């Protein structure tokens, strides 16, 4: 979710700016960012296709980042880049397993930031695109509208890249915008190009092809449990 400069969740608030190497190892390609919001967590990294966090009694945030995030750069990066200049054939993939403790929630998602500035250091980006591949309540996307069942989507079963997504919008008081694309099948993974999501946002006037894609990250915001990435990458932008 969006950081102002906090990472705000529907279920908890995550403090930003805390990203450390885990268990003496870190990626040579991506920025491994992680922090606790309560209790103790144990992030770990073996390689780019095997990383995660054990949190039997804690909550927090763990992601792999490519690009620039709050002034921190991934070791290898081709972002930021204007959306109009992106290679439409770029690809990204993220698969994971989640074992939240009984009664606890999580979301496994992409968190993608877009801004009119090349590499802002005082924020992630004005526009946030989230792709939720898996989740469990009480975690839910931010929305402009709520009813007795919770967050109300802007639209359901929107075909993006040949797959249906439920789309949620949240307009921040600052004028920023969070767009959440939720996989209704709760598949737990994504693989492909982000271009269809950008085309959808531009077609709806939410941002412009002149804006910069500043960073792409994937991971979890989580309550107590065990969370494991089984593949991750973002290349060819």
180 domain-assigned: yes
What CATH code is carried by the domain that includes residue 168? 2.60.120.180
What are φ and ψ of residue 5, in 5° steps? Answer: -85, 20
The enclosing H or E element of 160 equals strand 155-160
Range of the domain at 24: 7-235
191 domain-assigned: yes
Q: Return all residues near 222 (Cβ < 8 A) that are at least 6 apart.
A: 53, 55, 59, 60, 61, 62, 98, 100, 105, 106, 107
12 domain-assigned: yes
pTM for the whole structure: 0.91
1 domain-assigned: no
pLDDT in tens, the chain (237 residues): 554 333 333 333 333 333 443 444 689 999 999 999 999 999 999 999 999 999 999 999 999 999 999 999 999 999 999 999 999 999 999 999 999 999 999 999 999 999 999 999 999 999 999 999 999 999 999 999 999 999 999 999 999 999 999 999 999 999 999 999 999 999 999 999 999 999 999 999 999 999 999 999 999 999 999 999 999 999 999
């Amino acid at each position: 979710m969006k950081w102002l400069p906090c990472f705000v969740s529907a279920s908890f608030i995550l403090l930003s700016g805390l990203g450390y190497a885990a268990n003496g190892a870190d990626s040579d390609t991506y920025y491994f960012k992680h922090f606790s919001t309560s209790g103790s967590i144990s992030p770990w990294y073996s390689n780019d296709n095997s990383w995660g966090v054990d949190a039997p009694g804690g909550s927090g945030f763990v992601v792999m980042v490519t690009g620039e995030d709050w002034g921190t750069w991934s070791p290898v990066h081709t972002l930021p880049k204007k959306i109009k200049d992106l290679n439409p054939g770029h690809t990204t993939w993220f698969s994971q397993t989640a074992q939240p403790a009984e009664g606890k929630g999580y979301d496994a998602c992409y968190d993608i930031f877009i801004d009119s500035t090349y590499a802002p250091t005082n924020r992630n980006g004005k526009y946030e695109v989230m792709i939720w591949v898996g989740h469990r309540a009480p975690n839910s996307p931010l929305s402009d509208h709520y009813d007795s069942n919770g967050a109300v989507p802007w639209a359901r079963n929107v075909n993006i890249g040949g797959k249906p997504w439920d789309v949620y919008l949240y307009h921040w008081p600052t004028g920023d915008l969070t767009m959440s694309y939720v996989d209704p099948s709760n598949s737990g993974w994504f693989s492909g190009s982000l271009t269809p999501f950008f085309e959808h946002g531009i077609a709806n006037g939410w941002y412009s092809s002149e804006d910069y894609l500043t960073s792409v990250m994937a991971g979890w915001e989580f309550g107590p449990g065990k969370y494991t990435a089984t593949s991750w990458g973002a290349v060819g932008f």
